[in-house]
Structure 1
Amino acid sequence: MTDYGTLGCFTGKIAGQDTPVFTGIPDDPTIEQLKALSAALASSGSVSMFHAVGVTPEAHTEEQAFGGNQPEKVVVFGQAEKEETEAFLNKEPSDHVDWILVGCPNATVQEIREVAAALEGKRVHKDVALWVTTSGAMYAMAERVGYVETIEKAGGTVVRETCPFLARSRVIAPKKGYKSLTTNSAKMAFYAPGQFGLPTHYGNLDRVMKAAVNGVWS
């Protein structure tokens, strides 16, 4: 999922308000992957719509996506571009971890399940605050099947009906003594330094959850 967010951040900076067309995306992306892509596109850029050939229903072919026109610009996203964008989103130079946020945009039940699975039988490090933000409907379903209980038993917090952007995080962070923010969300990593005054660690969920348990970014 994080790679889709990285792709979105890279593309949004180039596209601005234009509509990008993606080719080469696998034809079976998950809702979570497309959500990460969409959110990052609208963060680093002002992209309101994209086409993914063979994925989005209006773009079965590249010709159909462009309406018979030629693209204004063709850009390749490869390993070098991926690493460059990840470096751009990683603003915290140390291995210090104190506030971890998963769920930007709000986490789906699948994302909550993955967090719960990573915490099964473990504890969040005593110096780390783990927030998983989600909607009321997703919370209700995750609570019913036990994911919320697993996360809270491990020392995490599942926050519903809000997100860090609406939770006065610039005020919360200094009061709690938070000095950095760790996340698997490209959108969050893009906004946090400016919005919250917090440098970021950015990586996939596996890496983020290891940081939650170990208390260091590695």
Structure 2
Amino acid sequence: MTLELMADDQSMLQGEQGPAVTAAMKILVAFSNAIGARKLLDIAGAHIDGCLYHGKAGLDFVERLVEGGGRVKVPTTLNVGSFDLIHPGMMKMPPSQEAPARRLMKAHLELGCQATFTCAPYQTRFRPRFGQQIAWGESNAIVFANSVIGARTNRYGDFIDLCCAMTGRAPAWGLHLSENRRGQVLFELVDPDPEPRDALFVGVGLIIGQASGDRIPVISGLPRPRDEDQLKALGAAAATTGAVALFHAGGITPEANTLEEAFHGMAPEEVIRITRADLDDALTRLSSVADGAPLAAVSLGTPHFSHDEWMRLLPLLRKVAPGRGIPIYVNTGRATLTRLQDEGVLAGMEVFGLIPVADTCTYVTAILERLDGVVMTNSGKWAHYAPGNIGVSVAFGDMTDCIRSAAAGHVVRGAR
């Protein structure tokens, strides 16, 4: 199968647009040939996952593009890095790690990328539209773009996402194509809780991620979400426990007004029932401690807290008024943080233990003051990754549970 290249593709490939673009196009062509794509398509934007420093190879790759005069061709947002550039004083990173971590973030800016440094680019002014072709990295962003917005991207990782941004092109393959967006396995919620609790959406995400494999899940019986943040939590959990890049929720997501539409008129390959007991079991396995365990910290905002989530959190903090010195870290995008500061709503909130974190996330870098105690979170993704990444014990609960636990100094769940 021969990859069809347009005149501009050939120009990039033959070195007429600079060495950095040539390198990116060579990689993109090799990748496209490997997956069997027949042509490339134009993209409207990209989101780069490679800002988190994992070693010299990643930094060398980006710096080679910078040295070659590279510039991205489409609006390109950046995922979290290893460093909070806004609050550098909270970082606990030796200089030998700090210097390359900062340099990697800066090098992407030198390529013309936007200084978003968020895992939730859909919360920025660069949010794509329904049907737009994009090339995004970062698992939760990918599943949100495909499922909740109806934009089109595959799961692009380092460094293909950056090559797409450098060329403005992506392989016409996978979820870019309508025929590949058909639902394949049906998940039926049996007697779901009619109250759209946040934990319900996390639990559903955990289950469909584990059970879908490489198939596209369709969910029936899901209560209408309070807001898109609950769908964000569902998608993040599904992309954490599995390879889900697109889910359909009957009557909720834009390509699933009906189940027939979600399945493109075909029958599901499999039907899986999800009971309340299944959800309870999935959520229980997120916690490694029982109620009453002493608490060291709370971490919220994985994926990054939206403005709406902040507006739910701040009144809760004032009402519950934690007073035991338990820090409440909230990971958020710098654009959201700037908006909150402009609105003046964060003034004085440090008295409640509130610690905003921007540009990064507490489960991927050294921020937490204590790693020897229990950290409570409302994020299925954080609860899944943090024990392995930073070695903490985790308790999972709704946002209200987390704040009540901070006030009590120990894990409290189910309080209303």
On whether the aligned pair clears a TM of 0.5, the verdict is: yes
Amino acid at match of 1:21: V
Amino acid at match of 1:123: P
1:107 is the counterpart of 2:305? yes
Does the C-alpha gap of structure 1 residues 113 and 176 become closer, same or farther in structure 2, counting only changes over 3 Å?
Answer: same
Amino acid at match of 1:156: L
TM-score (norm 1): 0.90
Does the C-alpha gap of structure 1 residues 16 and 148 become closer, same or farther in structure 2, counting only changes over 3 Å?
Answer: farther
Unaligned 5+ residue runs, structure 1? none
Aligned residue runs from structure 1 range 79-90, under 5 A: 79-90=276-287
The Cα of 1:26 is off from its aligned counterpart by: 3.0
Task: Tell me the distance in 1 between the aligned counterparts of 2:323 and 2:359.
Answer: 23
Amino acid at match of 2:322: R
Moved beyond 4 Å, runs of 4+: none
The Cα of 1:140 is off from its aligned counterpart by: 1.6
Q: What is the aligned partner in structure 2 of residue 211 from structure 1?
A: 405
Does the C-alpha gap of structure 1 residues 17 and 148 become closer, same or farther in structure 2, counting only changes over 3 Å?
Answer: farther
Does the C-alpha gap of structure 1 residues 150 and 26 become closer, same or farther in structure 2, counting only changes over 3 Å?
Answer: farther
Q: What is the aligned counterpart of 2:241 among 44, 48, 52?
A: 44
Amino acid at match of 1:42: A
Q: What is the aligned partner in structure 1 of residue 377 from structure 2?
A: 183
Q: Is the 8 A contact 1:116 1:150 kept in 2?
A: no
**Which structure has the larger Rg over C-alpha atoms?**
2
Query: Secondary structure of 2:295's match?
Result: coil
Q: What is the aligned counterpart of 2:230 among 33, 39, 42?
A: 33
Does the C-alpha gap of structure 1 residues 154 and 146 become closer, same or farther in structure 2, counting only changes over 3 Å?
Answer: farther
The Cα of 1:177 is off from its aligned counterpart by: 4.5
Task: Tell me the distance in 1 between the aligned counterparts of 2:300 and 2:345.
Answer: 14
Query: Secondary structure of 2:395's match?
Result: strand
- Per chain length, whose mean CA-contact separation is higher, i.e. which structure has more relative contact order (CA < 8 Å, sep 6+)? 1
State the identity %.
29
Aligned residue runs from structure 1 range 68-87, under 5 A: 68-87=265-284
Q: What is the aligned partner in structure 2 of residue 57 from structure 1?
A: 254
Q: Is the 8 A contact 1:181 1:192 kept in 2?
A: no
Moved more, 194-203 or 24-33: 24-33
Task: Tell me the distance in 2 between the aligned counterparts of 1:131 and 1:187.
Answer: 15
Deviations 1:13-70 (A, max 9, x none): 1113221101112345411101101100100111011111111111111111111222
Task: Tell me the distance in 1 between the aligned counterparts of 2:202 and 2:288.
Answer: 16
1:193 is the counterpart of 2:387? yes
Q: What is the aligned partner in structure 2 of residue 145 from structure 1?
A: 343
Does the C-alpha gap of structure 1 residues 111 and 80 become closer, same or farther in structure 2, counting only changes over 3 Å?
Answer: same
Residues paired across the two proteins, number: 213
Amino acid at match of 2:261: Q
Task: Tell me the distance in 2 between the aligned counterparts of 1:90 and 1:28.
Answer: 24
Query: Secondary structure of 2:285's match?
Result: helix
